[in-house]
Amino acid sequence: MWIYEKKLEYPIRVSYTNPRLAKEIITQYGGPDGELAASLRYLTQRYTMPISQAKAVLTDIGTEELAHMEIVASLVYNLIKGATIDEIKAAGLDDYYADHDKALYFVNAAGAPWVASYIQSKGDPIADLHEDLAAEEKARATYEFLIRLSDDPDVTDTLRFLREREVVHFQRFGETLNLVHEWMDSKKVF
């Protein structure tokens, strides 16, 4: 179905071990506005889209969100992999460590696990596309907050790339919404 290229969509680098930053960034892995929720939302909604262009956009963006999930996971893993127990405790990650060691797990920045209520699939293409537009704006805002929290220029660079992709996705969903409106307003002859 897809061809998987064994490299990240955007190269990640971290300047140093930083479990505090990892704790904040993990929200884009398993938080309410993160990449897991986005990918599942779009790859589910695509089935009820009335036109092929909308299905294609949801498939394309949903698949790209999976790639972004991999980027976020790589950031978090690399920020925490060399951390000592004292650094983990100082960052407030001791509860996380007790359950997961340094493994990746879908949680938000506060440690609450991912839940399916983070996503919606209404079956109404207009409602779903508005949901998608809002999701992209919330993800963009979260990346901006993370950029402000970041004290690592290499991590900040990756976060900026991810933020810009959210802007592009928002634009593509806006274009798709216009196409669906045109289709719904057109006269159907059978």
Determine the pLDDT at residue 69.
97
The structure tokens listed for 2 are 């897809």
Determine the pLDDT at residue 5.
77
Determine the pLDDT at residue 7.
87
Determine the pLDDT at residue 1.
57
Q: Which of the four CATH numbers 3.30.160.70, 1.20.1260.10, 1.10.1240.10, 3.90.1150.10 does domain 19-182 have?
A: 1.20.1260.10
Determine the pLDDT at residue 125.
97
Distance separating alpha carbons of residues 96 and 104, to the nearest angstrom: 10
Determine the pLDDT at residue 4.
75
Name the residue with tokens 């938000």. Answer: 108
Q: Where are the domains of the chain?
A: 19-182
Determine the pLDDT at residue 3.
76
Q: Are residues 135 and 165 in contact, defined by beta-carbon separation less than 8 angstroms?
A: no
Determine the pLDDT at residue 2.
64
pLDDT tens track of the chain, all 190 residues? 567 778 889 999 999 999 999 999 999 999 999 999 999 999 999 999 999 999 999 999 999 999 999 999 999 999 999 999 999 999 999 999 999 999 999 999 999 999 999 999 999 999 999 999 999 999 999 999 999 999 999 999 999 999 999 999 999 999 999 999 999 998 776 6
